[in-house]
Amino acid sequence: MMMSIGMASLPLIFLLIFYEVSSADWGVSYSNSQICALKNSSVTIYCAYTYPTGHQIKKVFWAKNSVKVGEEYTNLSEDPEYSQRLQYLGDKQNNCTIRLSHVTQKDSQNYYFRFITELDKWIGKPGVSLTVTDLQVESPETVKEGHNVSLTCKSSCDLTDRATFIWFRNSQPLTERRDRNNQLLLQSVRREDAGRYSCGVQGHNLTSPVVELNVTFEPSSVSVSIISPSGEIVEGDSVTLICSSDSNPPPEMSWFKEGMFVGSGRIYSISKISSDNSGEYKCKSNNEHGEKDSEAVTLNVMYPPRNVSVSISPSGEIVEGDSVTLSCSSDSNPPAEISWFKGGRILGSGRTYSISKISSDHSGEYKCKSSNKHGEKYSDAVMLNVTYAPRNAVVSISPSGEIVEGDSVTLSCSSDSNPPAEISWFKGEMFVGSERNYNMSKISSDHSGEYKCKSRNKHGEKNSDVVILNIMYPPRNVSVSINGSGVIVEGESVTLICSSDSNPPALDFSWFKGRMIVGSGRIYNISKISSDHSGEYKCKSRNKHGEKYSDALTLCVMSVRWVLWFKAFGVGVAVGGVAFGLGGASVYTCLTKRMNRRSAMKDSGNSDPSEDFNLCNAYDEL
C-alpha cells in the first residue's frame, strides 16, 4: 500500500492495492479500503478519480462518514478539527491524494473523496476506513527479586521487521534497550527495576500507556523514628514510635521493649508519657520472604517550657516619654531561650525587653516565647497602653464641595490622643460648640468664616488648622443707581449702574426698559440721551444659584429750552423721582414727550412750553 506514517522510517505495512468505486466513466480509486495508523503519526491516503470527457471539475474535497439523503457532505478542509492537519496533495485532474497528520483515536472514521462538475456530483463510496491505535505493553504484574522477566511491545497495526523499539522506565529512556526485537528481557531483577514501563517505535512521536512492574523482596533497612518529638522526650506528651522498612509486599511489624513484646503495627503510641516508659525499644519487620529487626532506640523523658508569663515595670499608667521594662519568666528543662513579639512581629531576645522614652507607637499587645529543643510556649499577651496628648487635629467638611445657602453642613474634628480628647469648636476666636461633630442646618451667608476645633485631654491640647466655610447664595439687594446728579438734559451721556449682593459674584447682568431688554453688563451707558429714553429702567442680576430684579428707576429727559423755560418761571424739575429746585414751588415727575404736538407748534411758529409736555404728576409744595 502507498500510505506514509511519520518520519523517515515506515514501520506499518500496507498493501499497494488500489480498489475502484465506479459507474461507467465515473469513479474513485483508493490505495486501500482499510488503513491502520499509530496515534500521533501522519497518514497518506493515495487516491485517483475519473469522470466523463467534456466535464469540467468545479470542486474537490474529502468528507467523513455518511450523511442522510438530501444533506450535503462537509468539506474536511473547512472543519476546525481537520483544517490545520489535512493537506490535499492532489489536483483537479485525476489525483485526489491527501495527508492527515497527528492522528488520534477520534480520527478513526470512514473517509470519502467527493468531486463536483458543472453537471453532476460523485462520492467515492465505500471510501477508506482509518483506524488509529496505541502501542501496548504486555508484562506480568509481579516478579520476585533475582528472577527473570520479559516485557513485550504490541500494536494492532502490523509493524515491519525494520522497526526499532525504544523502552522507557518512569518516563526515562533505557538507552541500552534499543533493538529490533519487540521484547525487553530483564535478568536477575533488582528492586531498582520496579517502575512504570512503556515502549515506542523510533521515528514516531508516540509511546504506549505505562504498565507497572512490581518487584517483591524481603525486609531490609529496618529502623525506628520518634515523632513529636524525636530524640529527648517531653514528660506528659504523647510519643509515637514509627517502624520503617524497605520490603515488598509490605511487612507485618512487632514492637519490643528490652526483649518484651509490647505491641504490633507500624506505629506504637504512648500517651501521657512518664519516666516508667523510659528504656530501649525496637521493632521487627517480616513478610513472606523473611524478617529483620531494627536497631534499639532509647526514650529519655524531658519536658518543654510551661508557666510562661510577662510582667511590666513600672506598674500603673504609662505616659509617652517613660522608660518601661518587660520581663519573661518560664519553667523548662533544659533552660529556655526567650523571644519577644509585638503582635506577630519579632522584637528581640533575652529574658527582659526594655523600651526607653516610650511613644504611642509602642502601644499594643506584647508576649514572649519560651523555647528549648523539646518545644515552645507563648505567654499570654499583655497590653501596653501608652497615654499622650492630642495631635494631628484635623477638621473635615461634609458634604465636600460647594456649599449653598440652605444646605445642611457638618464639621467633623478628628485627632489622635490617648485617652480620647474633648472637642471644642470656634468661629474666629468665638466658641460655638462642643462634641466631635458641629452641625449647621439651613446654612446661610452669616455662617461664612474661619472655623477650627480644639482637642484636649489631661496630657495637653491641640488646635486644628483653620478651615473656611464659603457659603454660596443667589443675588439679593439688587438696585440701580445713576452716575452724577441734577437734571437729565437731552444730549447728555447717562450711566446706570446695577449693584447686588451674591456669592459667587454675579457676572450676568441684563437691563430692561419696561419689559424690553435693552442691554447687558453691570453698567448701562446711554450717550446723547433724548426724550425717547424717558421711562422705567431696571436690571436683573444672576449667578448659577439664581437671579433677582432691581426695583424700577424712572428716567425723565428734558430738552435744553424747556429747562431754561422752567428756570425762567421758577419751576422745579425732578430727575428720576428726585426734585431739584430751580427757584419755583412745584415738583414734576416723569415728563413724557409728545412728538405730534411739538411738531404742530413748530409749524405754526408758536412755542408754548406748557402745551409741549404732558406732566405725569404735579404737586403743590405750598
In this structure, what C-alpha cell is assigned to residue 485? 446728579
Whether 223 shows a pLDDT value over 90: the answer reads yes
For 352-362, what is the mean pLDDT?
93
The partner residues of 228 in beta bridges, in order of sequence, read: none
pLDDT in tens, 265-318: 999 999 888 778 888 999 999 999 899 999 999 888 787 788 999 999 998 899
pLDDT of residue 340: 96
User: What topology is assigned to 471-622 in CATH?
Assistant: Immunoglobulin-like (2.60.40)
What whole-number distance in Å separates Cα of residue 203 and Cα of residue 498?
100
* Residue 276: Cβ within 10 Å count: 8
pLDDT of residue 231: 60
**Length of the chain, please?**
622
pLDDT of residue 41: 84
Whether 161 shows a pLDDT value over 70: the answer reads no
pLDDT in tens, 5-28: 333 333 333 333 445 555 668 999
DSSP 3-state percent helix, strand, coil across the chain (nearest 5) = 5, 55, 35
pLDDT in tens, 111-155: 999 999 998 889 998 999 998 888 888 888 899 998 999 898 888
Least confident of 348-362, 563-577, 582-596: 582-596
Q: Backbone phi, then psi, for 586, in 5-degree steps?
A: -105, 150
CATH assignment of 135-209? 2.60.40.10
* Residue 235: Cβ within 10 Å count: 15
**Three-state secondary structure call for residue 465:** coil
Pick the CATH number of 303-384 from 3.40.50.300, 3.30.365.10, 2.60.40.10, 3.40.50.2300: 2.60.40.10
Q: Backbone phi, then psi, for 610, in 5-degree steps?
A: -70, -15
Grid cell 405754526 — which residue?
604
358 or 560, higher pLDDT: 358
Q: Would you give the end-to-end CA distance of the chain in angstroms? A: 143
pLDDT of residue 162: 67
Quote the Cα angle for 390-396-402, to 5°. Answer: 160
Those residues with Cβ within 8 angstroms of residue 596's Cβ, 6 or more apart along the chain or in another chain: none
The letter for the amino acid at 493 is S
Least confident of 257-266, 346-355, 497-506, 587-596: 587-596
Q: What region, left, alpha or beta, does residue 401 occupy, with left being phi > 0 and alpha being psi -120 to 50 degrees?
A: left
Residue 245 burial (C-beta neighbours within 10 Å; 0-12, 13-18, 19+): buried
The partner residues of 270 in beta bridges, in order of sequence, read: 239
In this structure, what C-alpha cell is assigned to residue 545? 444659584
- Residue among 243, 245, 251 nearest 281 (CA): 243
Whether 179 shows a pLDDT value over 70: the answer reads no
pLDDT of residue 585: 28
pLDDT of residue 371: 94
Whether 75 shows a pLDDT value over 60: the answer reads yes
Whether 321 shows a pLDDT value over 50: the answer reads yes
What whole-number distance in Å separates Cα of residue 579 and Cα of residue 147?
140
What whole-number distance in Å separates Cα of residue 574 and Cα of residue 555?
10
Q: How confident is the model at residue 486 (pLDDT cuts 50, 70, 90)?
A: low
User: What topology is assigned to 217-299 in CATH?
Assistant: Immunoglobulin-like (2.60.40)
pLDDT of residue 571: 54
**Sign of the CA dihedral with 517 first, then 518, 523, and 524 last:** negative
Q: How confident is the model at residue 566 (pLDDT cuts 50, 70, 90)?
A: low
Q: In whole angstroms, how far apart are CA 401 and each of 71, 85, 408, 412? A: 71, 65, 13, 15
Sequence spans of domains, the chain: 19-133, 135-209, 217-299, 303-384, 388-469, 471-622
- Residue among 252, 358, 255 nearest 297 (CA): 255
Q: Backbone phi, then psi, for 550, in 5-degree steps?
A: -80, 170
Q: In whole angstroms, how far apart are CA 186 and each of 196, 361, 499? A: 14, 73, 113
pLDDT of residue 551: 94
pLDDT of residue 291: 93
For 517-537, what is the mean pLDDT?
92
pLDDT of residue 586: 29
Please provide the average confidence, as pLDDT, over all residues in the chain. Answer: 83
Same fold yes or no, 303-384 and 471-622 = yes
Least confident of 12-26, 74-88, 490-504, 528-542: 12-26
In this structure, what C-alpha cell is assigned to residue 75? 468539506
Whether 610 shows a pLDDT value over 50: the answer reads no
What whole-number distance in Å separates Cα of residue 434 and Cα of residue 556?
59
What whole-number distance in Å separates Cα of residue 535 and Cα of residue 577?
11
Pick the CATH number of 388-469 from 2.40.50.100, 3.30.428.10, 1.10.10.10, 2.60.40.10: 2.60.40.10
Q: Backbone phi, then psi, for 395, in 5-degree steps?
A: -105, 130
Q: With pLDDT > 70 as the criterion, what percentage of the chain qualifies? A: 84
Whether 621 shows a pLDDT value over 90: the answer reads no
CATH architecture, domain defined by 19-133: Sandwich (2.60)
165 or 520, higher pLDDT: 520
Those residues with Cβ within 8 angstroms of residue 353's Cβ, 6 or more apart along the chain or in another chain: 325, 326, 328, 340, 347, 366, 368
449 or 609, higher pLDDT: 449
pLDDT in tens, 77-119: 999 999 999 999 999 889 999 999 999 889 999 999 999 999 8
How far, rounded to the nearest angstrom, does the alpha carbon of residue 80 sit from its chain's CA centroid?
A: 35
582 or 322, higher pLDDT: 322
